[in-house]
Chains A and B, each alone.
Chain A
Amino acid sequence: MSHRSFVWLCLLPLAVVTAAFFLLPMARLVVTGAAGPQGLAGYLAILTEPRYRATLLNTVLLATATTIVTLIVATVAGMFLQRHRFPGRAILIAMLTFPLAFPGVVVGFMIILLAGRQGLIGDFSNRVLGEKLVFAYSIYGLFLGYLYFSIPRVILTIMAAVQKLDTGLEEAARSLGASPWAVQRDVVLPALAPAFVASGAIAFATAMGAFGTAFTLATNIDVLPMLIYTEFTLAANFSISAALSVGLGVVTWLILALARSFSGSAVAAAG
C-alpha cells in the first residue's frame, strides 16, 4: 500500500463519523425545515412571525447580557485570584469551578432553591419587606442560572490569560505616569482581548442554546430552545421546529463571527 493511500484510509473513520453524525442529520434538518406548508419561506418565519421574532430577540438579549455580566464578574475575580496569594485560595478556586460538573437541570434546581417560591431570597425578603421575592421561574431566574453556569468556564480562561500577561507592560505604563485605571484600560484589557473573545463566545453560545435549565425552571420562558421544544413535542410541528433549529444555529454563528471580526484588530494586535 502506498503512503498516500494509507493516509486516505486513515481519513475514512473521520469521514464516516462526520457523514453519519453531522452532515446527514444537518441535511435532514435543513430539508425538513423547508418541508412545511410554507416551503422555504418557513425559514423566514423566525423573523416574520411576531412571536418567533420576539423569542429570538429575547434569547439574543439574554445571551448577550449573560456574556457581558459573566465577562465582567469573571475578569475582576480571575485577575484577583491570579494575582493574590491568600489562605484558602486553592480551595476557593476549586469551589468556583465546581459548577462545571453540574448539568443544566441541577443548575435550574439550585435557582429554584434560591429564588423559588420556597427559596432563600423569598424567605429573606418576606421577613424584611413583608413580601415574597420570587423570580426563579422567569427569564431573570434563567439569567442567574446561566451566569452560574458560565462564570467558572470564563474565570479559568481569564486566569490562564492573566498568568501569561507580562507584568513589565504594566510597570512600563506606570513608569510613564499611567494611573491604575489607565493601566487597566490601555494595557491589561487589550492584552486580555483574545481571552475575552474566546471565553465570551462559549458563554454566549451556551446561553443561546442551553435547554436543561430553562426546562427545569418553567415551560413558558420565551427562549428559542424552549420554543423549539414546544413546537416539536406539543404542536408536532416538525418543519417549523427544524427551521427554528437551523435559525438558532445560524444566528448564533453570525453573532459570534461578527464579534470576532469586530475585535479582530485588537486580537491581532495583542497576539
Chain B
Amino acid sequence: MSAQAGHGASVRIETCGKTFADGTRALEPATLEIARGETLVLLGPSGCGKTTMLRIIAGLELPDAGGRVLFDDKDMTAVPIERRNVGMVFQSYALFPNMTVSDNIGYGLKIRGVPEKERAARVAELVALTNISGLEHRRIDQLSGGQRQRVALARAVAIRPGILLLDEPLTALDAALRDRLRGELNRLLRALGITTIYVTHDQSEAMELGDRVVVMQKGKIAQIGTPREIYFTPNSRFVAEFIGAANIVEAAIENGHLVLPGGRQPINGDANIPAAVAMIRPETIRVMAAESAPLSGIIDSVSFIGDRQRLVVSGVSNRSLAVDAPNTVRAKSGERIGLSISPDAVRLLPPES
C-alpha cells in the first residue's frame, strides 16, 4: 500500500439504482465518488436506501442494469463479494458462534491460506488494536455487546481490505456505550486511514466520523457535503430538519429583512424574492431583554438540559421558535423575552419542489 494520504481503494458508483423483484424502488440511480482513504457516511432515516447502496458497493446486491461499481477505476460490478476484498461490519455483527474470538478474527486469513504463524501474529496485532486482550479464547456468546462490536471490526480489518464497510455498527448498543465507542471508532478509523463507507441513521455519528456525509431521503441523495456544510448550509428543509435541531421559518421579505410577527430580522445577500423559507439553528439565537431586542416573543416552556436550557418561544414567527439559552439565564414561561439573530445564522432554503 502507498504511504500517501490514505490506504485502500477509491470507489466510484455510476448510476446505480436498485429495484427489487416486487417492484419497490429502493434506490434511485445515484452517482458517487469516494476518495482513497476517505470516510464517507451514508445518513438517512430507515428506508432511505442507504443500506441498499452499501450492499451494492459490497457486492451483496446487483445494481439495476446500467449501474456500475468501480474500485480504483476497475469495474467490479459483476465481481461477487468474496473477491472484492472488502471488510464488512454488520449491524448484528454476524460473528460465527461456532468459533472463538481469535478464530473469528483470523477466519478471512485462513480462507486466504495465510500460514498459521503469520495468521496468529496478525490476530494478536488486531486484538491489541481493538483493545480486546484476554478474550481471544472466549466463545461469542460470552462477550458483551461492545466486545462483539470490536471483534466484528477486528475481523473485518484483519484481511487488510481495500474498503471498509460498516452497516450501523453502533446501533445495537446502549446510548452511553455508543458514545464511548464512537470516539474509539473514530480514532481507529483515522489510524487505519482506509477508505471507509459508514451507514447510520444517527446524525451525531455521521458528524463525528464522516469526512463527508451523504444525506439520503426516499432512495435519493438529498445532499453531499462535509459535516459543517450539511449542518450550516443545508440545501433543503429535509436536510435542515434531519441534521440537528432547526427552526423553519416562513416569512415575507422586505428590503433585506424577514418580516416576522415578532419583529424584523435582517438577512444576508440580495434576496430579491417576495417570500422565503429560512432555517435558524436554536443555538444561534441570543436571548436579551425584550425592550432593546430586535425580536421578541412569549416563553411557552423552559426545559433545563444541564449545559444549556431549551426555550420554546411563541409570537416571534409563524411557528414557535426553539431557542438554546445559556444555563444561567433566568427564564420563566409566560414572560416576554427578547431575541437577536445574526444575519449569518439565517439560511434561506430553496422553495420546496
Contacts and interface: CB of A to CB of B under 8 A. Distances in A.
Interface residues of A, number: 22
A144 interface: no
B139 interface: yes
B58 interface: yes
Interface string A244-271: 0000000000000000000000100111
A169 B108 contact: no
A177 B90 CA distance: 16
A172 B94 contact: yes
B320 to A, nearest CB: 44
B111 interface: yes
B57 to A, nearest CB: 11
Contacts of A270: 97-98
A171 B83 contact: no
Contacts, number: 73
A271 B97 CA distance: 8
A177 B108 CA distance: 6
A199 B98 CA distance: 20
A271 B92 CA distance: 16
Contacts of B334: none
Contacts of B96: 169, 172-173, 186-187, 190
B81 A166 contact: no
A129 interface: no
A174 B98 contact: no
Interface residues of B, number: 29
Interface string B84-96: 0111101110111
A182 B110 CA distance: 11
Contacts of A190: 96-98
B233 to A, nearest CB: 36
Contacts of B60: 171, 174
Interface in B119-167: 139, 141, 155-156, 159, 165
Which of B80, B85, B96, B108 gathers most chain A CB within 10 Å? B96
A168 interface: yes
A176 B159 contact: yes
A142 interface: no
Given A174-B60, A271-B97, 17 more contacts: A166-B92, A166-B94, A171-B88, A171-B90, A172-B88, A172-B96, A173-B96, A175-B165, A176-B82, A177-B82, A177-B112, A177-B159, A178-B107, A182-B111, A190-B98, A191-B97, A191-B98
A174 B94 contact: no
B98 A175 contact: no
Nearest to A268: B139
Which of A177, A190, A191, A269 gathers most chain B CB within 10 Å? A177
Nearest to B86: A175
B97 A269 contact: yes
Nearest to A175: B88
A179 interface: yes
A166 B95 CA distance: 10
Contacts of A193: 98
A266 B90 contact: no
A175 B107 contact: no
Contact of B156 (A169, A175, A271): A175
Interface in B47-104: 58, 60, 80-83, 85-88, 90-92, 94-99
Which of A169, A270, A271 gathers most chain B CB within 10 Å? A169
Contacts of B82: 174-179
Nearest to B139: A269
B86 to A, nearest CB: 6
B108 A176 contact: yes
Nearest to B107: A176
Given A191-B98, A269-B97, A175 B81 contact: yes
Nearest to B87: A175
Contacts of B88: 171-172, 175
A186 B107 contact: yes
A176 B159 CA distance: 7
A204 to B, nearest CB: 23
B102 to A, nearest CB: 14
Interface in B31-52: none
A68 B146 CA distance: 41
Contacts of A171: 60, 81, 88, 90, 94
Contact of B111 (A178, A191, A266): A178
A207 B107 CA distance: 39
Given A175-B88, A179-B82, A269 B159 contact: no
B182 to A, nearest CB: 22
Contact of A266 (B87, B91, B98, B139): B98
B159 A168 contact: no
A189 to B, nearest CB: 9
Would you list the 6 A-B pairs with minimal beta carbon distance, nearest first?
A: A176-B108, A168-B94, A190-B98, A172-B94, A175-B88, A269-B98
